[in-house]
Amino acid sequence: MKDKVRAGELPPVEERLPADPIVVEPYARIGAYGGWARIAGWETFYFSHYEGPMRICPQGATVRLNLLERLVMSEDGKVFTLHLRPGVKWSDGHPHTADDYIFWFEHINRNWELSPLPREPFDAPGTRITKVDTYTVQYEFESPHFYFANDLAHSGHRFRVPAHFAKRYHVDFVESGDLKARAQRLGFINWMDYFSAVVEQGYRGSTVFNRPTLRSHQLVRRQQQNFYYERNPYYPKVDPQGQQLPYVDGITRILGLRPEIVTAQMVAGELTMAALAFDASSLPFLLRNEQRGGYTTYLWTEYLASALSISINQTFADPAVRDILADARFRRALSMAINRQEINEARYFGLGRPGPMFVLPTSKFYDEDTFRQAHGEYDPQAAKALLDEVGIVDRTGDGRRNRPGGGKLNLVLEQPGHHDPTVEMVLEQWREVGLDIHLRVVPGSFLRIRAESNQVHMGTGPGDRVGDTLFPNEPMWFLPFRQGRDMVTWGQWVRWFQTDGQEGQEPTSEAKDLMRWWNEMRSHPDRAERIKLGKRIMQSQAEHVWAIGTVGLTPQPVAVANHLHNVPKRGYWGWDTKLNYPYHPETHFMTTPSP
Amino acid sequence: MLNYAIRRTFVMLPLLLLISVVVFILMELPPGDAVSAMVEGLEMDGQPVSEQRVAALRARYHLDDPLHVRYLRWITGFLRGDLGHSITLQQPVNELVWERLGYTVLISLLCVLFTLIVAFPISIYSAIWQYSLSDHAFTVLAFLGMAIPNFVLALALMYVGHRYFGSSIGGLYSVEFEEAPMSFAKMLDLLKHIWIPVVVIGTAGMAGLVRTMRANLLDELPKPYVVAARARGCGPMKLVLKYPVRIAINPFISTVGWLLPTLFSGDAIVGVVLNLPTIGPLLLAGVQNQDMQLAGSIIMILSILTVIGTLISDLLLAVVDPRIRYE
């Protein structure tokens, strides 16, 4: 950096930083500049994080300011005023202002061609955005939205783009013939694809270099299998001594590595940090090879109510099957037939927390009494009794239970992507109470289509969105809010709600209650009442067992090279916390590896 | 002969057209399309995608057009040299293929070389000393190469390479050479890595070649012309190489044309395991994501190369073996 300043390519650091930069306290100690990190694929994102207006706190329960100086919510929860921190700049030195938010809202979110459907929570027709001054922007919602700050923290980085840069690629600002010709010349199907590839960096991160960013590092070049990221000279954060962050000079992102190869590379000492590729079963191997690979394995905790959560289709097309799946007693029996203690010991070294699908104990919406009544205790006798009650009994004497009317009970549990041994254990335990359920591992996209067309009996997924950041806005495991690859519980009900009753199946009154409570929960002016409504949703989950939990808060190995510092020994690793986002990856620093 | 070549060339055209239809149908058979893969990516990134949005995305990529319209769009583009656009990678297929072609051809050529250098001597040796201990040993070895799944062998060799030769895991270069400009040292580093895929892919195809060559040679060796040559005092080395081997080589020549598609694709599984910048993994990703234009175009190129290769084989065979003549 200093060389560039001397050469006149960059202004001195005081001019690059805001007058009042964001001070970040490193986890262990003040670091030193230098070093080049090698990170595999997706994990790069978590080494150089998205910077949003707000950020998530280490426990995943609260949010706090990041690029904002102040966030003001009106009394009624409808108007949010974002006061941006003046002097924050994009990586090309252009100031980060209200215009960047306005541009996203008006020209991306509201451009039908570009965004066929506007994004939650901005999709309500009455939502408005106003530029108050250069550094102040105001959102106004038709109905109250008390958890908007959570959105700003978790996905706020998506609500703005570098307007000065994006203008060059948008039909509203460029002669459209020109733009289309340019897009076509570069091989894009249309200008929208060109725009999202360049400005939104596509969903896989197309190769556009030096696109202005607010992250600690920016993509600068590529070479065969590697992407290279270099320090953002305008990054607005400093350590307590006033040294600009990040400490690490650059990152090599290695594309296309399989998880096994990530493990092998870590063990061979070729990676700086890795975690996404691992799960609890990687732990013994990682620990055994620490010496050789020159790294240390930290034991973080997965931010999940259940590492493997099982959803059961309530709206299956065939009524004979649906009657079984939609019977709460059947789901309770399934839940009570699972020996979670055994799974915890065998799969997670006893380190997880066995239990039903529920919010985490750290959540405001957690209620110990309800949790205990949520059919999460192992009780095979009670499970068998419940199955008998539903009429699922063994009629042929072959040890397998039949359908109520006789005939085989052919149920299939579908798992997206890779095979997780926990499922095998669950299926084995179900077999012990006489339920013969088959497993099918299918590619995620394929499972999504099958779920969309209502062909799936049961599905599996990671039980996330169970903390206070995401649960209020996306409680997907607990009510008919969405369906997808990992979530098959109420496809037809979701469709019914999304189309205002035009399509899908009419939900039961319980499902309608759930949606009503949730809507009230987000908009009720009284905080105590909001929490009560959230707890009521949990009561419904406890009673109806909409999803079945197994073991949560499971160990997540985080392998860190010994020459990388300031990585906490313990932490949460999950979608709710955006993996290591709360732990300031920009303060990681590297020393020379010891020989 | 020339007549035959021209006739064959013309027959190729409808054949390729038929292949293109089959490729397209195969790609369309499984439910879902590239947008579902894309949506999966978005969802894994935490962006819930509603069904209306999925429908709109399908419309954006013209995936909701009728089947024949999509086929015509793809194939007419293909004929103009436009391989289409990968929806999931958001890049033109031309670009994707081009940037990976170099290493693919390099690895495949080395594989062919490796196979030939190893397989020819082994098969000749095994045929001459039929049922000897070394014949059995070589046979077992060749079959092992075929029987061990490529990815297992790749993993094992990667371990050996790392443990005993200190080469890095995956990829074609060590960390310190990744960004360096091409130099002698970098070449050496490349050689330190590239032998793994070459040996893995090479050994896989060896068994077939060894067995056919050996069998053919065994047919030829007792024939009167060999006996006659030997009776006239022709040395054993010259005798075998000059006559029987030339005939026994026929099956190799008739399949040499298939090298062409291999040169282009490399081996997908080995490429994925070893993280090689070759076309194989690209094809695999295209098929997995149902990225029609990406996978379809690569398969189409492979088909064209196969057809051309077969033609070349046939013509070569006619040149080499005077017994084969076309009317």
- Å from B273 to nearest chain A CA? 7
Per-position DSSP letters for A221-272, written without gaps between them: EEETTEEEEEE-TT--EE-TT-PBSP---EEEEE-S--HHHHHHHHHTT--S
Cα A551–Cα A555–Cα A556 angle in degrees, nearest 5: 125
Check: complex ipTM more than 0.90? no
Sign of CA dihedral B204, B205, B206, B211: positive
Contact status, residue A118 vs residue A133, Cβ threshold 8 Å: no
Residues of chain A found within 8 Å of residue B73, distances taken between Cβ atoms:
none
Q: What is the pLDDT of residue B82?
A: 86
- Å from A254 to nearest chain B CA? 9
Burial B17-51 (b: 16+ CB within 10 A, else e): eebbeebbeebeeeebbbbbbbbbbbbbebebbbb
Contact status of A184 with chain B (Cβ, < 8 Å): no
B91 closest CB neighbour out of A190, A206, A223 = A206
Q: Which residue, among A251, A86, A56, A77, has the nearest Cα to A157 in the 3D structure?
A: A56
What is d(CA A303, CA A60) in angstroms, rounded to the nearest whole number? 8
3-state SS, chain B, equals CHHHHHHHHHHHHHHHHHHHHHHHHHHHCCCCCHHHHHHHHHHHCCCCCCHHHHHHHHHHCCCCCCHHHHHHHHHHHHHCCCCCEECCCCEEHHHHHHHHHHHHHHHHHHHHHHHHHHHHHHHHHHHHCCCCHHHHHHHHHHHHHHHCCHHHHHHHHHHHHHHHHCCCCCCCCCHHHCCCCCCHHHHHHHHHHHHHHHHHHHHHHHHHHHHHHHHHHHHHCCCHHHHHHHHCCCCHHHHHHHCHHHHHCHHHHHHHCCHHHHHHHCCHHHHHHHCCCCHHHHHHHHHHCCCHHHHHHHHHHHHHHHHHHHHHHHHHHHHHCCCCCCC
Please report the residues numbered 44 through 103 in chain A whose beta carbons come closer than 8 angstroms to any beta carbon of chain B. none
Sign of CA dihedral A569, A570, A575, A581: negative
What secondary structure letter does DSSP report for A105? I
Residues of chain A found within 8 Å of residue B60, distances taken between Cβ atoms:
116, 189-190, 192-193
Assigned token pair, B65: 């057009």
Contact status of B90 with chain A (Cβ, < 8 Å): yes
Q: What is the pLDDT of residues B224-236, one digit of tens each?
A: 988 888 888 888 7
Q: What is the pLDDT of residue A289?
A: 94
Q: Which of B45, B51, B289 best tests the A interface by mutation, with the highest count of A CBs <10 A?
A: B51
What is d(CA B276, CA A321) in angstroms, rounded to the nearest whole number? 47
B90 contacts A445? CB cut-off 8 A: no
Q: What is the pLDDT of residues B123-166, one digit of tens each?
A: 888 888 888 898 999 888 888 888 888 888 888 888 888 888 87
Q: Which residue, among B284, B315, B307, B260, has the nearest Cα to B18 in the 3D structure?
A: B307
- Å from B85 to nearest chain A CA? 7
pTM above 0.90, yes or no: no
- Å from A379 to nearest chain B CA? 34
A120 contacts B60? CB cut-off 8 A: no
Contact status, residue A273 vs residue A564, Cβ threshold 8 Å: yes
The values of phi and psi at residue A490, to 5°, are -140, 45
- Å from B301 to nearest chain A CA? 19
Contact status, residue A485 vs residue B40, Cβ threshold 8 Å: yes
Name every residue whose Cβ is closer than 8 Å to that of residue A408 and which is 6 or more positions away in sequence: A400, A402
Contact status of A185 with chain B (Cβ, < 8 Å): no
Strands A217-223 and A226-231: antiparallel
Q: Which residue, among A235, A204, A203, has the nearest Cα to A218 in the 3D structure?
A: A235
Contact status of A502 with chain B (Cβ, < 8 Å): no
Q: What is the pLDDT of residue A9?
A: 83
Contact status, residue A409 vs residue A392, Cβ threshold 8 Å: yes
User: Considering only alpha carbons, which residue of chain B is nearest residue A258?
Assistant: B273
Contact status, residue A265 vs residue A271, Cβ threshold 8 Å: yes
Residues of chain B found within 8 Å of residue A450, distances taken between Cβ atoms:
31
A116 contacts B45? CB cut-off 8 A: no
Q: Which residue, among A288, A306, A289, A316, has the nearest Cα to A359 in the 3D structure?
A: A306
CATH annotation of B98-279 = 1.10.3720.10
What secondary structure letter does DSSP report for A358? -
- Å from A378 to nearest chain B CA? 32
Residues of chain A found within 8 Å of residue B154, distances taken between Cβ atoms:
none
Contact status, residue A377 vs residue A336, Cβ threshold 8 Å: yes
pLDDT-derived band of residue B290, with 50, 70 and 90 as boundaries?
A: confident
% pLDDT > 90, chain B: 7
Contact status of B176 with chain A (Cβ, < 8 Å): no
Cβ-count burial of A231 within 10 angstroms (0-12 exposed, 13-18 middle, 19+ buried)?
buried
Contact status of A260 with chain B (Cβ, < 8 Å): yes
A208: left (phi over 0), alpha (psi -120 to 50) or beta: beta
- Range list of H helices, A146-200: 148-155, 163-166, 176-185, 191-198
Residues of chain A found within 8 Å of residue B167, distances taken between Cβ atoms:
none
What is d(CA A59, CA A175) in angstroms, rounded to the nearest whole number? 48
B215 to B107, B220, B276: CA distances (angstroms): 29, 9, 36
CB contacts < 8 Å between A and B, how many? 134
Contact status of B167 with chain A (Cβ, < 8 Å): no
B175 closest CB neighbour out of A224, A270, A575 = A270
First-to-last CA distance in chain A?
A: 28
Q: Which residue, among A170, A187, A390, has the nearest Cα to B98 in the 3D structure?
A: A187
The values of phi and psi at residue A438, to 5°, are -95, 155
Contact status, residue A553 vs residue A354, Cβ threshold 8 Å: no
Residue A246: is the preceding peptide bond cis (ω within 30°)?
yes
Task: Measure the CA dihedral B128/B131/B132/B133, to 10°.
Answer: 140
Contact status of B208 with chain A (Cβ, < 8 Å): no
Range of lowest pLDDT (A262-271, B42-51, B117-126, B212-221) = B42-51
Q: What is the pLDDT along chain A (595 residues), one digit of tens a residue?
A: 777 877 878 899 889 999 999 999 999 999 999 999 999 988 888 888 889 999 999 888 899 999 999 999 999 999 999 999 999 999 999 999 999 999 999 999 888 888 876 677 787 888 999 999 999 999 999 999 999 999 999 989 889 999 999 999 999 999 888 898 988 887 777 888 888 888 876 444 456 788 899 999 998 888 878 889 999 999 999 999 999 999 999 999 998 888 888 999 999 999 999 999 999 999 999 999 999 999 999 999 999 999 999 999 999 989 999 999 999 999 999 999 999 999 999 999 999 999 999 999 999 999 999 999 999 999 999 999 999 999 999 988 888 999 988 888 999 999 987 788 899 999 999 999 999 999 999 887 788 888 888 889 999 999 999 999 999 998 999 999 887 777 888 889 988 988 888 888 999 999 999 999 999 999 999 999 999 999 999 999 999 999 999 999 999 999 999 999 999 999 999 989 988 889 999 999 999 865 4
Q: Which residue, among A580, A368, A366, has the nearest Cα to A478 in the 3D structure?
A: A366
% pLDDT > 70, chain B: 97
CB atoms within 10 A of CB B267: 27
Cβ-count burial of A415 within 10 angstroms (0-12 exposed, 13-18 middle, 19+ buried)?
buried
A254 contacts B48? CB cut-off 8 A: no
Contact status, residue A354 vs residue A343, Cβ threshold 8 Å: yes
The domain limits of chain B are: 98-279
- Å from A295 to nearest chain B CA? 16
Please report the residues numbered 3 through 22 in chain B whose beta carbons come closer than 8 angstroms to any beta carbon of chain A. none
Residue written as tokens 């106004």? A140
3-state SS, A339-353, equals CHHHHHHHHHCCCCE
User: Considering only alpha carbons, which residue of chain B is nearest residue A45?
Assistant: B45
The values of phi and psi at residue A145, to 5°, are -145, 80
Cβ-count burial of A336 within 10 angstroms (0-12 exposed, 13-18 middle, 19+ buried)?
buried
- Range list of H helices, A399-526: 421-432, 444-452, 491-498, 509-523
B53 closest CB neighbour out of A117, A154, A450 = A117
Residues of chain A found within 8 Å of residue B152, distances taken between Cβ atoms:
none
B169 closest CB neighbour out of A207, A270, A495 = A270
- Å from B47 to nearest chain A CA? 9
Contact status of A38 with chain B (Cβ, < 8 Å): yes
Strands A437-442 and A411-416: parallel
3-state SS, B204-263, equals HHHHHHHHHHHHHHHHHCCCHHHHHHHHCCCCHHHHHHHCHHHHHCHHHHHHHCCHHHHH
Cβ-count burial of A464 within 10 angstroms (0-12 exposed, 13-18 middle, 19+ buried)?
buried
First-to-last CA distance in chain B?
A: 8
CB atoms within 10 A of CB A295: 24
B37 contacts A117? CB cut-off 8 A: no
What is d(CA A432, CA A243) in angstroms, rounded to the nearest whole number? 62
Q: Which of A151, A224, A488, A494 best tests the B interface by mutation, with the highest count of B CBs <10 A?
A: A224
B52 contacts A117? CB cut-off 8 A: yes
- Å from A382 to nearest chain B CA? 37
